[in-house]
Each structure stands twice: as C-alpha cells, then as structure tokens.
A and B are shown apart, each in its own frame.
Chain A
Amino acid sequence: MIINHPLLGPRDAAEFVYKGDAALIHRPDGMAPDALEKFIDYGYLRDNPAGEHRELWFHEQGDRSWLVVTRNTLTHEITSVELARDVARREGRSK
C-alpha cells in the first residue's frame, strides 16, 4: 500500500505504524459521571467495519506525524489521507 502523505507525498505503508480506528481521537472526558463505561468502550470495543474505515497511521520511519487514512478494508484502496492534527482541530479536539 502507498500512503499519500499530505506533506511528504507518496510513501510506502511499511514506513508507518498502524494505530487503529480514528475514532480514538475522541478520548472520553475523564471527569464525566459515566467516564468508567465510556473508557471501557474507548479502550476495548471497536466498530471493525468491512468497507470504508477511518484509521490512524503514525509515520514512525518518517516525519513522525499522525495521519487519518480513509481506507477500504475489503480492497485496501486508500481514498483520503489527512494530518490527524487537522482532523482533530476540525472535530473540536484541539485548539
């Protein structure tokens, strides 16, 4: 697989480490009354879809940026690559 890095261009997927579902960007609020239940879900339960999947890839052998890659788990086709920072900001996770 080739991941089209937004800053560095096309890179071999072997340079990256796979870090799971991009929903993990949304870490639950530890002070919420239902925090325990939310963290069990966050830590251990996954959607694991067959088809389009948004996921985190860490460029460990490169510029060490985190990416959100949208990839089809049935075909391995990659349809979009964004910096995780931009996604997190857009979704209100970071200032």
Chain B
Amino acid sequence: MRYSGWKVIKEALTGHRGWGPAWRDATPKPAYDYIIIGGGGHGLATAYYLAKQFKQANIAVLEKGWIGGGNVGRNTTIIRSNYLLDGNEPFYEFSLKLWEGLEQELNYNAMVSQRGILNLIHSDAQRDAFTRRGNAMILNGADAELLSTKQILARYPFLNVNDARFPIKGGLAQHRGGTVRHDAVAWGYARGADQHGVDIIQNCEVTGFRIENGTVKGVETSRGFIGAKKVAACVAGSSSRLMEKAGMRLPIESHVLQAFVSEGLKPVLPGVITFGAGHFYCSQSDKGGLVFGGDIDGYNSYAQRGNLPVIEDVAEGGMAIFPMLGRARLLRMWGGIMDMSMDGSPIIDRTHIDGLYFNGGWCYGGFKATPASGFAYAHLLATDRPHDTATAYRFDRFAKGRMIDEKGMGNQPNLH
C-alpha cells in the first residue's frame, strides 16, 4: 500500500478501515539465505537495502523484543556529518545524503528536518580545530560555515554568550544537519523491507550460533534452529554478549548514556545546539519537548539507566549557556546502552568465521549513521567487499595501528 494525500482523504471518508498493518508478523522458515540479528534501525536498514538495492532474497530479521524497542527508540534523533577524519567523513556524508532522500525512498514520513546543527566555540584553539574540521567537511562534499557570536545571537538570542568559564566566541554550523523522528525510521525501514519480501520476526532471541568447520550454518533461537548461509550481527550495545556465543571477544565496552526531555513548550529552539565543552546538547522535538543530553556515565553497564552525578553535570551545562532551560520541568529521562569501541569509531566487517558478519561499535553516534550503516552492511553481505565509504571500519585496524580516533583519546572507551 502506498501512502499519499489521496489515500488519507479516501480513508477519512470511509472510516479508516483500509489501512492494514505496515508489515507482516512473520513466522520463521527453517532456513534463509541471510539472517540479520537485531531489528533496530541498522538491522532493518540493512535488510531493506539488501533486498531493494542489492536484489537479494530470502532474508530474515530476528529481533529479541519488538522492532524499534532498542537504541533506535532511545536516542536524541540528531543527524549530521561533521566529522574530521578520512575514514569517517565520507561515510557520514553519504549517510546524510541518504537521509535527505529517505522519505521519498521509503514513501514514509520520517519527519526529516534539516534545521541545522551548531557546535559552539569558546577559545582560539577551539576555533582553529573547528576551522580545520569545517574544511575537512567541505573537502568531502559536506557543508560547513563558521559563525560569529553576532550571527549566532541573531538566531539564538537566548544563549548566554558571557559565561565566565566558557564564553561563546563563535560556532561551526552545518545547516544540512538536523533531526529525524527516530521511531518512524525503524517503522519506515521495516515497512520497506517487508514490501521487498523480508521476514521480520519479533520475540525471537538468538541464543547461540551453529558453527561447523569454521563456517556458520545458522542460529539457535528461542523459536528453534534457523539455518542460514550468511548471518549478520547488528545488535549495538549487546554486541559483546552476542558475539561471545561465537567465541569472539570484541574491542568494545558497553556503557550507559542518559537522555532527557522537558515538558512540551511552544517553539523556542529552532535548531540543534551542542556545547561540547560543557557536556550538553539540545534540540526541540516537533511535539515541543526540549530533548537534551550530555556525556556517557563512564562505567560498563547494561542497565539502561544511569546515575545522578551525570544528570547534575548535564543540567549544569545546560544552565550555563541556556538559562531559560531552568524554567522548564523535566518530563522524562532514560538510558541506552552504547557499544563504545576502543577508538570511538564503528566496525562493519567479516569475522574469522565464514558467513558470520559484524556491525557494531557505534558508540553514542549510531542513529545518524543508520542509512549508511544499512547500505554499507548490505553491500558487504551481498558482495563480500566493503562499501567505498566504509573501507576503514575493519576489525584488524587495532592490531595494525590504523585507528580512527576523532578525539585522539587512545584505547579508553569512556573518553570517546
């Protein structure tokens, strides 16, 4: 079924009886050509592009809970491509271009809103760093503009530019960045994948791998054994727990990141603002809530909730530059589990087991990568070669000293 204005009018006049579910509730077949483990944004995007772009068939997505119930439903919905390093920037810019065409591609309203993202500058050294970053972005076909304090105040008059510790001296803007309705991304890809014949199987937890002579033969699940020629892991924060069942240790620690939303307000914040020096960033959802967050808590966790010191830190950061935030009441807060890698960059690669593939290590930046991650992973699965924009995301980069460390922090996951 195609969604359109005509369809909405027709259904309005006929009592909305013709909509039907957006995807089938599939029951597992005995075997598939491709099994994707994880029905989050990346897994569903992978299935969609594998079926649509790479013309593969006989694909299943296995999801332990319900689709969209993990990190794709728990993030702060920001899209951007403001990276510095060669291994990253072409990939994230490819992702942003896919976001720009996503709704037409999927015939689904994902509320992609290119309202712009602004990274604040507080010192000369930071201005140099952001100038370099902006130039790297432009060299890779992205957009970037350095703004003066005056230009920033014209759009965001409520900012406190005279904070004693971090006065605002300018900012790096990416006008094509913005926000997307995160749940709609999962639903849109699920519907698109389903229309191309993908079986989306919910409440189906993978409990083990069947591996014979170094080749994967399928997966044991809570709904029985399912055979497969290729198995693709795509489970973000649960990566270590899943791959341990295949005998692998990963360059990943799982950490909790908290996020917050205020009560619904009239439009006050037209874009996305990041105050990196103060561990705070904020946007306003279309429903009106101020959506904000800060740093990860910093210790291994699978609890999907954090602790109070980080909440205090985020609130302090927010109040320092954004004093009007203090008038809004906090409505909800929650935590998600981040697959923090050893250099802060992801992995999309084969494993040493034939037919077993891995996608993970997205740290706290997985949402913006969803389309490109799905596309690149589907490319790898279909052709056994990495996509042009994802050649650096290999397992062996740590052993070979080819880390992609945007912040230059070294192998300490809680510093990325």
Question: Which positions 37-60 of chain A face chain B at CB distance < 8 Å?
Answer: 40-41, 43-50, 53, 55
Answer whether residue B250 sits at the interface, using C-beta atoms and an 8 A cutoff.
yes
Residues in chain B near residue A40, CB distance under 8 A: 398-399
Within the complex, the shortest CB–CB distance from A45 to chain B, in Å, comes to: 4
Q: Assuming A46-B240, A47-B240, is B251 touching A18 (CB within 8 A)? A: no
Residue contact B253 to A20, C-beta cutoff 8 Å: yes
SS class, residues of chain A in contact with chain B: mixed
Which one of B251, B300, B399 has the greatest number of beta carbons of chain A within 10 Å? B300
Residues in chain B near residue A79, CB distance under 8 A: none
Q: How many A-B residue pairs have CB under 8 A?
A: 67
Q: Which of B10-18, B301-309, B362-370 contacts A (4 or more CB under 8 A)?
A: B301-309
Residue contact A48 to B300, C-beta cutoff 8 Å: yes
Question: Which positions 8-32 of chain A face chain B at CB distance < 8 Å?
Answer: 12-14, 17-18, 20-21
Residue contact B398 to A46, C-beta cutoff 8 Å: no
- Checking A18, A43, A48, A75 against B303 with a beta-carbon cut-off of 8 angstroms, the contacting residue is A75
Q: Assuming A14-B309, A40-B399, A50-B241, is B251 touching A45 (CB within 8 A)? A: yes
Give A77's nearest chain B residue, CB to CB. B303
Give A36's nearest chain B residue, CB to CB. B399
Residue contact A50 to B302, C-beta cutoff 8 Å: yes
Answer whether residue B258 sits at the interface, using C-beta atoms and an 8 A cutoff.
no
- Determine the distance from Cα of A95 to Cα of B314 in the docked complex, in whole angstroms: 43
- Determine the distance from Cα of A75 to Cα of B249 in the docked complex, in whole angstroms: 23
Total B residues in contact with A, Cβ cutoff 8 Å = 24
Within the complex, the shortest CB–CB distance from B249 to chain A, in Å, comes to: 4
Give B396's nearest chain A residue, CB to CB. A40
SS class, residues of chain B in contact with chain A: mixed
- Checking A21, A44, A47, A53 against B411 with a beta-carbon cut-off of 8 angstroms, the contacting residue is A44
Residue contact B302 to A46, C-beta cutoff 8 Å: no
Answer whether residue B28 sits at the interface, using C-beta atoms and an 8 A cutoff.
no
Residues in chain A near residue B300, CB distance under 8 A: 18, 20-21, 48, 53, 55, 73
Question: Which positions 44-95 of chain A face chain B at CB distance < 8 Å?
Answer: 44-50, 53, 55, 71, 73-76
Give A18's nearest chain B residue, CB to CB. B299
Residues in chain A near residue B342, CB distance under 8 A: 43-44
- Determine the distance from Cα of A86 to Cα of B253 in the docked complex, in whole angstroms: 26
Residues in chain B near residue A21, CB distance under 8 A: 300
Residues in chain A near residue B299, CB distance under 8 A: 13, 18, 55, 71
Residues in chain A near residue B207, CB distance under 8 A: none
Q: Assuming A14-B309, A18-B414, A50-B241, is B251 touching A44 (CB within 8 A)? A: yes
Within the complex, the shortest CB–CB distance from A35 to chain B, in Å, comes to: 13
Give B412's nearest chain A residue, CB to CB. A20
Answer whether residue B254 sits at the interface, using C-beta atoms and an 8 A cutoff.
yes
Residue contact B251 to A46, C-beta cutoff 8 Å: yes
Answer whether residue A7 sits at the interface, using C-beta atoms and an 8 A cutoff.
no
Residue contact B398 to A76, C-beta cutoff 8 Å: no
- Determine the distance from Cα of A41 to Cα of B249 in the docked complex, in whole angstroms: 9
Give B400's nearest chain A residue, CB to CB. A40
- Checking A18, A44, A71 against B398 with a beta-carbon cut-off of 8 angstroms, the contacting residue is A44
Residues in chain A near residue B232, CB distance under 8 A: none
Within the complex, the shortest CB–CB distance from A41 to chain B, in Å, comes to: 8
Residues in chain A near residue B412, CB distance under 8 A: 20
Residues in chain A near residue B253, CB distance under 8 A: 20, 46, 48
Question: Which positions 163-186 of chain B face chain A at CB distance < 8 Å?
Answer: none
- Determine the distance from Cα of A49 to Cα of B242 in the docked complex, in whole angstroms: 11
- Determine the distance from Cα of A47 to Cα of B414 in the docked complex, in whole angstroms: 16
6 tightest Cβ-Cβ pairs between the two chains A and B? A48-B240, A14-B309, A44-B398, A45-B249, A18-B299, A44-B251
Complex A-B: 18 CB contacts under 8 Å: A13-B299, A13-B309, A14-B309, A18-B298, A18-B300, A20-B253, A20-B414, A40-B398, A44-B342, A44-B411, A45-B251, A46-B251, A47-B244, A48-B252, A49-B240, A50-B302, A73-B301, A75-B303
Partner-B contacts on A (CB < 8 A):
1, 12-14, 17-18, 20-21, 40-41, 43-50, 53, 55, 71, 73-76
Q: A44-B398, A46-B250, A48-B300 are in contact. List 8 more A-B contacts (CB 8 A).
A: A18-B298, A43-B398, A44-B399, A46-B240, A48-B252, A50-B254, A55-B300, A73-B302
